[in-house]
């Protein structure tokens, strides 16, 4: 079993679905930059790139409650450990989706620009300045680290439509994330 702040069993490749209560739990910071963190980053990139249209992934989506994200947007690929965001500029609404709720797109308002500061997998300081889609992806993935889902940003009518569509697609009947679902 991994100690607090260590990646441990990072090779897990099943993406947690939206109704998994684990996605609502804030992640722990990484405190030890060892091989398990590098394996987690590798796993995040492998799973993220396994299909089309996948721009980012957060460790909690693989069941690892650590503050690690990976991204690949418009030729900018990377990862951040223990990221912190400094949003700036105007807020822009655009359709957004999530690998934990495949195929469902809804408008979310986010900052057009961000500066993301964190560490790489070796513990070295990293800064990512982003605008547009990359800024959106970074905000979405860092939300996952905080136990926040993109539906938390939806207008009430879009939120209702999302949960109805998710329940239909998943066959769970779950009305909200964390609701009881059948065994998978």
Residue ranges at the known binding site for Fe cation: 98, 140, 144
Q: Which residues contact 148 (CB under 8 A, 6 or more apart)?
A: none
- In sequence order, which residues have a C-beta less than 8 Å from that of residue 90 and are 6 or more positions away? 111, 112
The kind and range of the H/E element at 119 are strand 101-119
Contact 131, 139 (CB under 8 A): no
Which pairing describes strands 76-98 and 68-73: parallel, antiparallel, or unpaired? antiparallel
**Is 141 marked active-site?**
yes
> Any idea of the CA torsion for 179, 2, 35, 41, to the nearest 10 degrees?
10
**Two tokens, residue 97:** 């989706």
Q: Which candidate in 86, 96, 141, 183 is catalytic?
A: 141
Active site residues: 141
């Amino acid at each position: 079993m991994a100690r607090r702040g260590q990646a441990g069993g990072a090779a897990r490749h099943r993406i947690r679905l939206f109704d998994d209560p684990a996605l609502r739990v804030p992640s722990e910071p990484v405190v030890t930059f060892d091989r398990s963190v590098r394996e987690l980053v590798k796993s995040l990139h492998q799973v993220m790139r396994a299909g089309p249209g996948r721009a980012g992934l957060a460790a909690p989506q693989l069941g690892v409650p650590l503050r690690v994200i990976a991204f690949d947007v418009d030729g900018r690929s990377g990862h951040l450990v223990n990221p912190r965001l400094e949003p700036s500029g105007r807020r822009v609404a655009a359709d957004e989706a999530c690998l934990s709720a495949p195929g469902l797109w809804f408008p979310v308002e986010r900052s057009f620009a961000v500066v993301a500061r964190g560490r790489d997998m070796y513990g070295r300081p990293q800064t990512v300045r982003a605008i547009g889609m990359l800024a959106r992806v970074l905000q979405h993935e860092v939300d996952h680290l905080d136990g926040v889902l993109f539906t938390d940003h939806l207008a009430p009518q879009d939120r209702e439509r999302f949960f109805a569509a998710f329940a239909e697609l998943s066959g769970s009947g779950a009305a909200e994330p964390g609701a009881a679902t059948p065994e998978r």
